[in-house]
Structure 1
Amino acid sequence: MTVGQKAPQFELLASNGEKVKLSDYQGKNVVLYFYPKDMTPGCTTQACDFRDQHENFEDLDAVILGVSPDPIERHEKFRDKHGLPFLLLVDEDHQVAEKYGVWKLKKNFGKEYMGIERSTFIIDKEGNLVKEWRKVRVKGHVEEALEYIQENLS
């Protein structure tokens, strides 16, 4: 998967209980962000940063979609606890994470395991992947994504 190509299509269950396809958002810019786990400090900060900038993304005709391997119940709890106004998508079998190349071998305190590498993808109104950030550092990232859309897609 490379910038400039069509973004890989998918269909996943969303935190509103409905199935969502990437193609549902044709005609809008999409901020597709992959994160490791609901309710963890970094993921909570990132989700709340997207929440706080949500209206600014909407003003640029951009939709935010968060993806993690968490089950629907955990997504619902996370969404409700933090008042998240965007959909969280369930990728329990990590098929979409694999399509986007973010399902990686990770190390933490000497343990190795497979998990999500925090990453964000910007998909334009025609469904093309136009920007990617991998190994995202949470601080300042949401503003960087917003700035990219303002300067390149608005």
Structure 2
Amino acid sequence: MSGEKPGEMPGELLTPVPDEDGAPFWEYAARGELRVQACAACGELRFPPRPCCPHCQSFDSEWRRMSGRGRIWSYVIPHPPLLPAYAAHAPGYNVAVIELVDAPHIRLVGNVVTAPDAPIDSVDPARLRIGAPVRVAFGDLPRWVLERS
């Protein structure tokens, strides 16, 4: 396995490699819940997860459930793909930055797809627009589907 990075297998798409702070995010996602870390002292939401609150320096945290609704804040259609495993999906796949409706300062990265387990190239790139409403869809990973507006 020379040259491979954690979460990368030859010919496979990247998978998350949770650290101690982010592990609860992935555990909730496996149960179909989108949760974001919050400071238990001052209530500020934070992402990515980390041990200390950047606002009040408390080490106490909790995980708050989000509605799963968001908007496309930004996106890219990679030409060519950056990793060989993505070549079969190029140039039709997207990588989107999603701003959560519940917490506009929280942005998550993922793919916009037609269904939870659909391929990452299942949405026609012409349908993507900045500000388009999306909702989370849980399959192997949290992904995003376009909502009708």
Structure 1 or 2: more helix by fraction:
1
What TM-score do you get using the length of structure 1 for normalisation? 0.24
Q: Which has the larger radius of gyration?
A: 2
What TM-score do you get using the length of structure 2 for normalisation? 0.24
